[in-house]
Amino acid sequence: MNRAFILFAALSLFGAAAAQQTTAFHGLNVPTYPGAQNVRIETDSDEYDLYFKRNNELRKVYDYYVQYLSSQGFSVVSTKAKANGMGYKANLSRGAGPSNNVELDVKVKHGENKVEIEFDE
């Protein structure tokens, strides 16, 4: 194998890793918050949890995921800011049924940002 090909392959893999990642969950391709570092994702049957290095921009993170869910057909039903600016919560819906109602919760947990998307079951 020639060195140019190996370098090209390595750069291609690096570029793919540097691109924004998405995770499939309940028919959504949930994007990782742009610029997030030390990303950890946990899921179960009805909940998607994204943890990443804290950047003190909770409102921006919240707005980003509300906009993302809106682009997937969800509408905000209710919103709530937590005490001391420590997080934001929204209920969103795109119709009747368990896959069409979600709760978005963005908060700080153990020094990390936590984005939780929970489907009603």
Nearest to 33 by CA among 45, 13, 48, 47: 48
Domain-wise residue ranges, the chain: 20-119
pLDDT over 50 at 79, yes or no: yes
Q: Residues near 78 by Cβ (< 8 Å), separated by ≥ 6?
A: 90, 91
**Mean pLDDT, rounded, of the chain:** 80
Contact 109, 90 (CB under 8 A): no
Q: What is the structure's pLDDT at 57?
A: 84
Task: Evaluate if residue 4 carries a pLDDT over 80.
Answer: no
Do 44 and 50 meet the contact criterion of CB atoms below 8 Å apart? Answer: no
> Helix, strand, or coil here: 62?
helix
Average pLDDT over residues 54-78: 91
